[in-house]
Structure 1
Amino acid sequence: MCDDSIWCIQEDPSLRPNMKRVVHMLEEVTLKYYICVRNMKKLLLSQYNLFCHHFGLMLEQCMKSRTLKPCQQIHALMLTKPVDMNSFSLCSKLIGAYASCGDLDSSRSLFQESPNPNTFAFNWMILTLTFSGFHGEAIGYFSSLTKSRNPDIFHNEHTLSAVLKCCVGLLDLNLGRQVQGIICKTGFEMYALVCNALMDMYRKCGKMNSARNVFDRMSERDVVSWTNIICGYSDHGKMVEAVDLFQRMRLEGIKANEFTWNSIIAGHARIGDCDGAFRFFTRMREERFVPDLPTWNGMISGFVQSRKASEAMEAFHSMLVAEVKPDPVTVTGLLPACGMIGSVPVGREIHGMIYRMEIFVNVFVTSALIDMYSKCGSIKDAWNIFNTTYTKNAASWNAMIGCYGMHGMVDSAIKLFEKMQEEEIQANEVTLNAVLCACSHGGQVEKGVEFFTSMVSYNVTANHEHFACVVDLLCRFGRMEEAFYIVKQMPVLEGTNSVIGAFLNGCKIHGRSDLAEIISKHLGLEMRKPADFVTLSNIYASEGKWEGVQDVREVMKDNRVHKKPGFSSV
C-alpha cells in the first residue's frame, strides 16, 4: 500500500511528502481495493453473462485502486473467455491497469503484442516508466507516439505533462525546449496542466526566467501554478520575488495551501533569514494551518544549510514540544548541525533519541551519523556506526572515507576505498574527492596524482573540486610545473576560480611569478574573485614588478572587481 500512496503523491508535481496526506491516501486506497474486489465478486457471481464492457469496468476499478492481484485475476478470466481485445479498448485498458500497478514487465509485454495501442496506453507507459526511472525508454514511447501514422493516435495534455516530468528526471533542458515547441505547435499552451509541468521543468533545470515567462503567459492560474513559481524562487534563494508573488496570489483570491507555506518558510530558512522564517511560520498558524512534519523538516534543514545551527536546534526542540514525531528526513537534516558546533554529547543525544523513538534508520541516517561523529572528532563512534550498518550504499562509504581523510589517516582511507571496490560498490564524484582530499591532508602526492589520472577507469568525470584538490596537493610540495600543466589542460568548469586560487597561492609561496603570469593570461576571463587578483598583484609586488601590479589593478577596474577592505572586530 505504501507504493500506492507514493504514486498518489507523484501525480501532483507540487506535492511534497506529507504524512497526513499519505495516511489519508492509504485509507482511500485500502477502501478502493475492497470496493474493487467486492464489485468483481458481485459481477462474477451474478447470473448475467460477462461482456466486454464488464471487463472494461473491472479494469477501470483496478486502475483507480492500483491493485495488482485483481488485475491479474481479471486478465486470467479474459484469457478463458472469447473476448475481443480490440472492443472497448480492452487491450489498452489492460496495459494501463498493469502499468498503474507498477508491473512494468507485464505492461511492456502486452504493449508489444498489442496491434493498435491507443493514446491512453502510450500515456500510461510513458508515465510509469518516468516514475520508475526509465527516462530514455519513456522518451522512446513518446517518439513512437509522435511518429505514428494512425490518425486516431495523437498526444494530449496528459502525454505532454508526463514527458515534461521525464525531462526533469533527465535534467535535459534541450529536450524540454523541444517539447515546448511541440506544445506551442499543437496548441496546448493554454492548458494549466501542461503549463504547470513546463514551469516545473524549467525551474528544476535552473531556468527561472523561462519558468516566469510561462507563468506570465498563463491565462488562468490555479494554486498549483502559484505554488510552482513560488517554490522555484524559494529554491533559488530569491525570496523577494517569492514573497511578492505570495502577496499577489492572495490579492487575486487564491488561497495558499500547506505546500505554498512550506516553500516560503523553508526558503527564508535556507538564506539564513530566521526572522522571516519564523514570521511566516507564525502567519501560517494564524491562518489555521497546523505546521506538519514537512514544515518542520523544511525549516530545520534550511537553517542547517545556512549554517544556523542554534536556530535549527531550537526549531527541533519546538517540534518535539508540539508533539510532532521526527522521521529519517528530520534527523538527516539536523545531524550536520551537531558537526557545525562540534558537540559530541548533543550528537549522542540525537543518536539515542533515534532508537528511543523507533525512527527508521536507513542508509541516509547512518551516513549522516558517520559524518556527524567524524566532524566532532570521534572516529571510533563513526567506525562503529559504519561497521554495524548492514546495508551500505556509496554515501556510507564516502562518509567513512572522508572521515579518515579529514583526520589524516590516509592509509585507512585508501584501504577502505579498495575494500569498497572489492565489494563492487560504484565509486562516484564524492568518493574520488574524499580520496584526493585524504591524499592531500596526508601528503601522499604520488597516490593523489595516481587516483586523479585514473578517474576515468571509475567512470567518474573530474569536476572543479577534483582539479582544485590535486592542484593544491601539487602546489603544497612545490611541483608547480605539474600543477601548471593540469590547470592549463583543465576545461572551463563552474567553480574554476577555486582551482585558479589554489594555483596562484602556490605560485606566491614558491616564487613562481612566471607561471602565475602565463596562467593569468591563459585564464584571465575566468578570474572573477577579488582574492585571485590580489594574490596575483602581491606576486608581482614581492618581485618588484610594479608595472604588473598596475596592470592587475586596471583589469580589476575594467571588470568592476572590488575587494572589500579588511577589518577587525577587536
Structure 2
Amino acid sequence: MVMGSHLYSKLQALSSKIKQASVNGKWREVVSGYSEIQSAGIQFNDPFVFPIVFKACAKLSWLLQGRCIQASLLKRGFESYVSVGNSIADFYMKCGDLCSGLRAFDCMNSRDSVSWNVIVFGLLDHGFEEEGLWWFSKLRVWGFEPNVSTLVLVIHACRSLWFDGEKIHGYVIRSGFWRISSVQNSILCLYSEFDSLSARKLFDEMSERDVISWSVVIRSYVQSQEPVLGLELFKEMVREAKTEPDCVTVTSVLKACAVLDDIDVGRSVHGFSIRRGFDLVDVFVRNSLIDMYSKGYDADSAFRVFDETTCRNIVSWNSILAGFVYNQRYDEALEMFRLMKKEALEADEVTLVSLLQVCKFFEHPLPCKSIHGVIIRRGYESNEVALSSLMDAYTSCSLVDDARTVFDSMSYKDVVSCSTMISGLGRCGRSDEAISIFCQMRDKPNAITVISLLSACSVSAVLRTSKWAHGIAIRRGLAINDISVDTSIVDAYAKCGAIDIARRTFDQITEKSIVSWTVIISAYAINGLPDKALASFDEMKRDSYTPNAVTYLAALSACNHGGLVKKGLMIFRSMVEEDQKPSLQHYSCIVDMLSRAGEIDTAMELIKNLPEDVKAGASAWGAILSGCRNRLKSGIITSEVVAEVLELEPLCSSGYLLASSVFAAEKSWVDVAMMRRLVKERNVRVVAGYSMVLEGSIARKFLAGDKLNHSDSELNDVVQRLHRCMRLDDMVGPIN
C-alpha cells in the first residue's frame, strides 16, 4: 500500500511537470517527462496528458517518437477517446505525414468538430487547396462547423483557386463568423485579388478596421494599377489617426509612389517611415525605398538607402542592381555585382536578368554565354523571364542563332518569349523568321507582340506584309485603343515607302502624342520629303506639342538629307534656346549636314569645340570623311579624320571602305593600298552594302559588288524590274 502511494505521488508529480512544461512551451521536457513515466513501468491512465505529448512531438517534428507513443496507446485502448484520436491525427498532419493523418481520422470510432477541422486545416496548411475544400464540403454535409483558423485557410484557398468570393462571403455571414476581424480581413483579401471596387465597398461597410484592413485595400489599388487611389486612402488613414500604419502599409504606399514615378510623395513617405522607426528595423521598407528612388530616377538616393542598410538580403542587392540598370548607369551596376560577389552572395534569377540588361547595353556576347551557363547549372531554365531576357541579350549582341536555340528549347512559349524573339529577329534583319514565329503563336498576341511584328515588317519593307500586320492589329482591337500600336503602324508604312498610307493612318489617330508626331516627321524625312517633314514639325508646335530630343533629331535629319542648312541651324538654335540639351546624335547630324553642304572647315570647327560632356563618335568623323570625298579637301584634313574614324571603330569595315574611296578620289594609291593591308592585318570582316526594292509583292535585294551570272536576257529583266520600281512622278526637284 505504501509502495502504491509512492508510485501514485510520482505519477502525479510527473503529470504536473508535463502540463507545466507544456504551458511554458518546453516541449522537450514534455516528451522526456512522458518517457520517464514509461521507464518507471507506471500504468499511466490520464487521457488528457496524451494530447499534450503528441502536441510536443508535432512541435519538435519527432515523427518516429510519435509513432511509438501511438503504438503503445493502441495496445491499451486509448484510441477510443475522441481527444486522443484528434491529437494523433493532428500530430501526423502537422508533421507532414498526411496519409497517416487521414488514416488516423478514418480509424476514429467517433468524431467531433475538432476532428474535421484538424483534417481540413492540415490539408490546406500544406497547400492541398482542392483536397482541403473537398473535405470542407464534407464537414458541412456532416453538420459540423469550421473553427476560425480553418475558415481563414478555406477563404485563402478560395482566393488561390479563383473561386467565387460572393459564395464564401455569403456562407461566412450565414454561419455567424462575419463579426470576427480575421475572417473579415480574409474576405477583404479575397475581393482585393479580383476587384478593387468590391474590396473598397466591403472596406467601407466594416464597422471596425484594423491595420490589416487598411493595408489590404491600399495594396489592392496598387496591384490594380490605381496607385493614386491607394495614396489617397493612405492619406485618409493618417488623417483619421485611429489606426497606426505598419511596415506592410508603408511598403504598399512606396510601391504606389514607384508606379507613379512620384518621388516627392515618396520622400514624404520616407520621412514618415523614419519618424515611426520603420526604415531602420524593416528590410522590406528599405528595399521598397531603394526601388521607389530608382523608379523616380534618383539612383544616388537609392544607393544612399542601400549603403545605410545593415540588414541587407538578396532582394536589397537585386533592387540596387536593377535601379542602376533602370537609370542606365551600367558601370555602377557592374561594380555592385562585383561587391555582391565579394560579400559571397549567390546571384539568383533576378540578378541574372539585370546582368543580361548590362550585357545588352555593352553588346558583350561572351558574358551572355557565361550567364546562359549559370542559368543551366542552377536549373533556372523554367524561369520564362530569365530566358526571355537571355534571348533579348543574345539578339542585341548579334547572336541570333543562340537566341533561337534558347527559344526552340522552351517547352511552353508564352506571349512574352514569342514577342522577345519576334523583336530580336526583326532587329537583326530576319523578318521572315519573325513573321513565322508570330503565325505559330498559341497565346493571344498583346500590344507588344503586334508592335514587334510591325517592326519586323518595316525591316522587310514589304508593303503587303505591313498591311497584313495592320489588319491583325485592327482585328485584335489594338489599332484604335493603343497609341503605341498606331504609331508603329505609321512607322511600318513609312519604311515601306508608302508615305501616303502612313499619313492617312497618322490622321486617324484620335489622341496623338509627341511620339506619333515624331514618327510622321521621320517618315517624311526618310522618304526624301524634307519640306513636308518640316511642315509637320511646325504643325505639331501649333497644336501645342513640345518637341523632345528625338523630335528635334527627326527635324534635323530632314534638313540634313534635304540640304536645308540654314533651316537646320535655326532649328538647332531653337532647341538650345528652349533648354533642350543636344546630345551627340544632334551634333553628329549637324556635322553631317555641314559636310554634305561642303562646309568641311565649319564642321571641323564644330566637332573640335563640342561641350566637355560630349565626345565625337565615329558617325560624326565619318560624316566629315564623306564630305572630304565629295569636295576633295586637302590630304592633311583627310589623314586626320581617317585616323579618328579608325581609332574609334577599328573593327568596323565601313570606316576602311570610306577612307579607301576618299584616298582613291584624291589619287593617293599608296594610302588606298595601306587601307587594304590594314583590313587584312586586323581581320576586319567586310560587309557589303545592298539596296532592296519592291516589285509587286516581292522585295528584291541588289548586293554591292555582286557578280550576275545571268544571260543577257535575264540581266535585261533585272534592269526592266528596276525601271518598273522607279516612281518618276514621285520624284522631287533637285536639292539646293
Name the TM-score, length of structure 1 as normaliser.
0.74
Of residues 105, 121, 125, the one that matches 2:249 is: 121
Within a 5 Å distance, the mapping from 1:290-305 to structure 2 comes to 290-305=412-427
RMSD: 4.5
The amino acid that maps onto 1:332 is I
Secondary structure, in 3 states, of the residue corresponding to 1:490? coil
The amino acid that maps onto 1:300 is I
Superposition deviation, residue 312 in structure 1? 1.7
- In the alignment, the residues of structure 2 paired with residue 424 and residue 28 of structure 1 have an alpha-carbon distance, to the nearest angstrom, of 48
Does structure 1 residue 273 correspond to structure 2 residue 399?
yes
Superposition deviation, residue 128 in structure 1? 0.6
Q: Which residue of 2 aligns with 1:260?
A: 386
- Relative to structure 1, the CA distance from residue 536 to residue 391 in structure 2 (aligned partners, 3 Å threshold; closer, same or farther) is same
Of residues 430, 435, 438, the one that matches 2:555 is: 435
Within a 5 Å distance, the mapping from 1:104-503 to structure 2 comes to 104=230, 106-107=232-233, 109-110=235-236, 113=239, 117-146=245-274, 148=275, 150-151=276-277, 154=280, 156-183=282-309, 186-188=310-312, 191-204=313-326, 205=328, 206-207=330-331, 209-210=334-335, 212-213=337-338, 216=341, 217=343, 219=345, 222-226=348-352, 229=355, 233=359, 237-252=363-378, 256-285=382-411, 290-319=412-441, 323-356=442-475, 358-359=477-478, 361=480, 362-491=482-611, 492-493=613-614, 496-503=617-624
- Relative to structure 1, the CA distance from residue 107 to residue 37 in structure 2 (aligned partners, 3 Å threshold; closer, same or farther) is farther
- In the alignment, the residues of structure 2 paired with residue 360 and residue 94 of structure 1 have an alpha-carbon distance, to the nearest angstrom, of 34
Q: Which residue of 2 aligns with 1:22?
A: none
- In the alignment, the residues of structure 2 paired with residue 73 and residue 536 of structure 1 have an alpha-carbon distance, to the nearest angstrom, of 74
Superposition deviation, residue 72 in structure 1? 5.3
- In the alignment, the residues of structure 2 paired with residue 343 and residue 93 of structure 1 have an alpha-carbon distance, to the nearest angstrom, of 52
Note if contact 2:356-2:389 (Cα within 8 Å) is conserved in structure 1.
yes
Note if contact 1:32-1:65 (Cα within 8 Å) is conserved in structure 2.
no
Superposition deviation, residue 407 in structure 1? 2.3
Superposition deviation, residue 333 in structure 1? 1.0
- Relative to structure 1, the CA distance from residue 537 to residue 174 in structure 2 (aligned partners, 3 Å threshold; closer, same or farther) is farther
Q: Which stretches in structure 1 are left out of the alignment for 5+ residues?
A: 1-26
The amino acid that maps onto 1:281 is F
Write out per-residue CA displacement over residues 461-513 of structure 1, whole angstroms, 9 at most, x where no aligned residue: 21122112222222222334543443233224366332232234334544554
Of residues 620, 626, 631, the one that matches 1:505 is: 626
Between stretches 66-75 and 401-410, larger displacement belongs to 66-75
Superposition deviation, residue 144 in structure 1? 4.8
Rg larger for: 2
Q: Which residue of 2 aligns with 1:15?
A: none
Superposition deviation, residue 399 in structure 1? 1.5
Aligned sequence identity (%): 19
Superposition deviation, residue 383 in structure 1? 1.2
- In the alignment, the residues of structure 2 paired with residue 142 and residue 292 of structure 1 have an alpha-carbon distance, to the nearest angstrom, of 38
The amino acid that maps onto 1:326 is P
The amino acid that maps onto 1:443 is G
- Relative to structure 1, the CA distance from residue 506 to residue 364 in structure 2 (aligned partners, 3 Å threshold; closer, same or farther) is same
Between stretches 310-319 and 33-42, larger displacement belongs to 33-42
- Relative to structure 1, the CA distance from residue 77 to residue 257 in structure 2 (aligned partners, 3 Å threshold; closer, same or farther) is closer
The amino acid that maps onto 2:292 is C
- Relative to structure 1, the CA distance from residue 345 to residue 165 in structure 2 (aligned partners, 3 Å threshold; closer, same or farther) is same
Does structure 1 residue 74 correspond to structure 2 residue 184?
no
Secondary structure, in 3 states, of the residue corresponding to 2:382? coil
- Relative to structure 1, the CA distance from residue 441 to residue 265 in structure 2 (aligned partners, 3 Å threshold; closer, same or farther) is closer
The amino acid that maps onto 1:498 is S
- Relative to structure 1, the CA distance from residue 500 to residue 513 in structure 2 (aligned partners, 3 Å threshold; closer, same or farther) is same
Superposition deviation, residue 257 in structure 1? 2.1
- In the alignment, the residues of structure 2 paired with residue 545 and residue 391 of structure 1 have an alpha-carbon distance, to the nearest angstrom, of 57
Write out per-residue CA displacement over residues 332-371 of structure 1, whole angstroms, 9 at most, x where no aligned residue: 1122333333211222222233334555542122212211
Within a 5 Å distance, the mapping from 1:519-538 to structure 2 comes to 528-530=648-650
- In the alignment, the residues of structure 2 paired with residue 448 and residue 29 of structure 1 have an alpha-carbon distance, to the nearest angstrom, of 60
Between stretches 231-240 and 251-260, larger displacement belongs to 231-240
- In the alignment, the residues of structure 2 paired with residue 537 and residue 255 of structure 1 have an alpha-carbon distance, to the nearest angstrom, of 48
- Relative to structure 1, the CA distance from residue 154 to residue 64 in structure 2 (aligned partners, 3 Å threshold; closer, same or farther) is farther
Within a 5 Å distance, the mapping from 1:9-20 to structure 2 comes to none
Superposition deviation, residue 179 in structure 1? 3.0
Write out per-residue CA displacement over residues 199-234 of structure 1, whole angstroms, 9 at most, x where no aligned residue: 323444324523533663454555544555456546
Q: Which residue of 2 aligns with 1:20?
A: none
Write out per-residue CA displacement over residues 268-293 of structure 1, whole angstroms, 9 at most, x where no aligned residue: 344443432332233223xxxx2122
Secondary structure, in 3 states, of the residue corresponding to 2:614? coil
- Relative to structure 1, the CA distance from residue 315 to residue 450 in structure 2 (aligned partners, 3 Å threshold; closer, same or farther) is same
Within a 5 Å distance, the mapping from 1:78-89 to structure 2 comes to none
Note if contact 2:188-2:216 (Cα within 8 Å) is conserved in structure 1.
yes
Superposition deviation, residue 163 in structure 1? 2.7
Secondary structure, in 3 states, of the residue corresponding to 2:280? coil
- Relative to structure 1, the CA distance from residue 343 to residue 542 in structure 2 (aligned partners, 3 Å threshold; closer, same or farther) is closer
Note if contact 2:231-2:253 (Cα within 8 Å) is conserved in structure 1.
no
- Relative to structure 1, the CA distance from residue 346 to residue 524 in structure 2 (aligned partners, 3 Å threshold; closer, same or farther) is closer
Superposition deviation, residue 301 in structure 1? 0.3
- In the alignment, the residues of structure 2 paired with residue 445 and residue 373 of structure 1 have an alpha-carbon distance, to the nearest angstrom, of 28
- In the alignment, the residues of structure 1 paired with residue 279 and residue 188 of structure 2 have an alpha-carbon distance, to the nearest angstrom, of 21
Write out per-residue CA displacement over residues 375-404 of structure 1, whole angstroms, 9 at most, x where no aligned residue: 211111111111122222222211211111
- In the alignment, the residues of structure 2 paired with residue 376 and residue 516 of structure 1 have an alpha-carbon distance, to the nearest angstrom, of 38
The amino acid that maps onto 2:266 is A
- Relative to structure 1, the CA distance from residue 518 to residue 135 in structure 2 (aligned partners, 3 Å threshold; closer, same or farther) is farther
- Relative to structure 1, the CA distance from residue 569 to residue 220 in structure 2 (aligned partners, 3 Å threshold; closer, same or farther) is same
- In the alignment, the residues of structure 2 paired with residue 429 and residue 114 of structure 1 have an alpha-carbon distance, to the nearest angstrom, of 46
Note if contact 1:139-1:166 (Cα within 8 Å) is conserved in structure 2.
no
Between stretches 537-546 and 106-115, larger displacement belongs to 537-546
Write out per-residue CA displacement over residues 177-209 of structure 1, whole angstroms, 9 at most, x where no aligned residue: 3233123xx121xx2322332332344432452
- Relative to structure 1, the CA distance from residue 32 to residue 94 in structure 2 (aligned partners, 3 Å threshold; closer, same or farther) is same
- In the alignment, the residues of structure 2 paired with residue 132 and residue 235 of structure 1 have an alpha-carbon distance, to the nearest angstrom, of 26
Superposition deviation, residue 409 in structure 1? 2.1
Between stretches 264-273 and 537-546, larger displacement belongs to 537-546
Q: Which stretches in structure 2 are left out of the alignment for 5+ residues?
A: 1-157, 689-704, 708-736
Between stretches 130-139 and 227-236, larger displacement belongs to 227-236
The amino acid that maps onto 1:372 is A
Superposition deviation, residue 454 in structure 1? 0.4
- Relative to structure 1, the CA distance from residue 337 to residue 234 in structure 2 (aligned partners, 3 Å threshold; closer, same or farther) is same
Secondary structure, in 3 states, of the residue corresponding to 2:444? coil
- Relative to structure 1, the CA distance from residue 464 to residue 562 in structure 2 (aligned partners, 3 Å threshold; closer, same or farther) is farther
